[in-house]
Every structure is written in C-alpha cells, then in structure tokens.
C-alpha cells in the first residue's frame, strides 16, 4: 500500500509496446501515470536514458517518438521521468 500526502502523489508506470523494424511509433507515456492533484498535462516529460538500439525524442505534447532500427528483432528499452512544476518526479521504463 502506498500512503502519500495528496501533494506528493505522482506515479510513473512502465509502458510496453511493439514497433515494427524501421518504423516510428508515438508513445503516450503519461496515459497510464497518476497524479493525485492537478493534471498530468502540466507535467514535464524527460528522457532519463536512451534506448539501447533505437532512438527516442520527447515531443512538446509530452509523448515520446520512438524509432526502431531497421532489420531489428530484439527488445529495446529506455527510461523516462515525469516531473511537476514543484519538482516532484518519478521515473518509468518503456
């Protein structure tokens, strides 16, 4: 059980998806994250680590664009964080 003050409750949850080799996908990483007060649209999304094989870019709308390398059949991963204006942050893995 997580017990938190209502001003400190921010949770970034891991995301899982599939991408065809050589294609770009847009990942709405905040879609499964939680903020007790306020809206997730007001949070800042940042990359904490780069993908092992592909490339990732944080877009202005808070989504992440991921490009899978061509002729690639492996698992890839990277970490992102979300932060509020009060510097309350949490990280998750895609």
Q: Where are the domains of the chain?
A: 10-86
DSSP for 63-86, please give it.
-EEEEPPTT--S----EEEEE-TT
Q: What is the pLDDT of residues 25-82, one digit of tens each?
A: 999 999 999 887 766 767 899 999 999 999 999 999 999 999 999 987 889 999 999 9
Q: How confident is the model at residue 8 (pLDDT cuts 50, 70, 90)?
A: low
State how far the Cα of 90 lies from the Cα of 87, in Å rounded to an integer.
10
> Of 88, 85, 89, 82, whose CA–CA distance to 29 is shortest?
82
pTM attached to this predicted model: 0.85
């Amino acid at each position: 059980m997580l017990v938190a003050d209502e001003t400190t409750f921010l949770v970034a949850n891991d995301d899982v998806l599939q991408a065809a080799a050589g294609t770009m996908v847009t990942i709405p990483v905040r879609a499964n994250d939680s903020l007790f007060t306020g809206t997730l649209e007001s949070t800042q999304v940042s990359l904490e680590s780069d993908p092992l094989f592909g490339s990732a870019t944080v877009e202005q709308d808070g989504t992440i664009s991921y490009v899978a390398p061509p002729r690639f059949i492996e698992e890839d991963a990277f970490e992102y964080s979300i932060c509020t204006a009060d510097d309350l942050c949490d990280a998750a893995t895609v």
